[in-house]
Structure 1
Amino acid sequence: MKKLLFIALLISLTVSVFPFFLGVSGGKELGGKNRYILGAELGSYQNLLGISVNVFYPLSGSEIDTFENVNLSEIQLVEIDPYLLLVLNLLGTKVYAGAAPILIANVQSGEIGLYSQEVFHAKVGIKSGTGIAFSLEAITTFNTQFLSTGIYTVNFGIGLSF
């Protein structure tokens, strides 16, 4: 109960300090393992510099058939990407690009670690709408020499913009 109150207080303070976006996304990996991806996002896209924290879970083959097969209690590892973004506001539509280290979190133990010091994620996208906002993003993995691995993910998202 104390955790729930702390989270509610933290969200309330965050909303009062800066506007933010809270949403969910789904996507498809193009190249690599060609997995489907489920995700959640918390971010701020109001200024020239923005931030976004994305949490992703790749679906296994049996979970792809129907989303009803996704058992949230069995999820062990998720990917967390804390992006620093450059945001352009064009007539109410936000166009953004950014990069993030790739973190892996063990949901059951609470441990978080850096996936690799040699690779990071970069994304470009658009977000449009007030109140309810829609987004379309493309994400790829780069190495430290800024060479893409050739694996891309295309995500579509929907969420609430506060």
Structure 2
Amino acid sequence: MDLITPEFGLFFWQTIVFLILIFLMAKFAWNPILNSVRNREESINNALSSAEDARKEMQNLKADNEKLLQEARAERDAILKEARQLKEKVLADAGEEAQKKADKIVSQAKESIEMEKRAAMADIKNQVASLSIEIAEKVVRKELSSKEKQHQMIDDMLGDVTTLN
């Protein structure tokens, strides 16, 4: 028997063993292998689908984050604008209040000066009157002897007092 030349019996038994092997493989191995391959294919497809969903969700989250960031910037700008307006209003109100206080102080000072001026004028008039009376008393005592000189002196003093006013 030569191993290189094929014989019909060997060929027949090899074919039968091969067919039995295929039958056993189909009955016991092919279904589990095919099921395993299908399961693996499904898990890969599910993983790809999940990855695609995750990518879309990440894009949505990124867009939402960008939108929130823009809203936050807009709100920050609005708050800063409002703060500037409030600062300007407070400064304007403070300026107006300071001006009112300054005007009030100036008017009170003018009133005070006017009252002191009147008081000083009244005091001066009282002093002039008092001095006039003293002078008149001295003159009258000194010049009691002559009535003519007495009248002349009183007229001169009254003329001096009226020119002071």
- Bigger relative contact order, structure 1 or 2 (CA pairs below 8 A, ≥6 apart): 1
Judging by fraction of residues, say which structure has more helix.
Answer: 2
Question: TM-score scaled to structure 2, two decimals?
Answer: 0.13
Question: TM-score scaled to structure 1, two decimals?
Answer: 0.13
Task: Compare CA radii of gyration and give the structure with the larger one.
Answer: 2
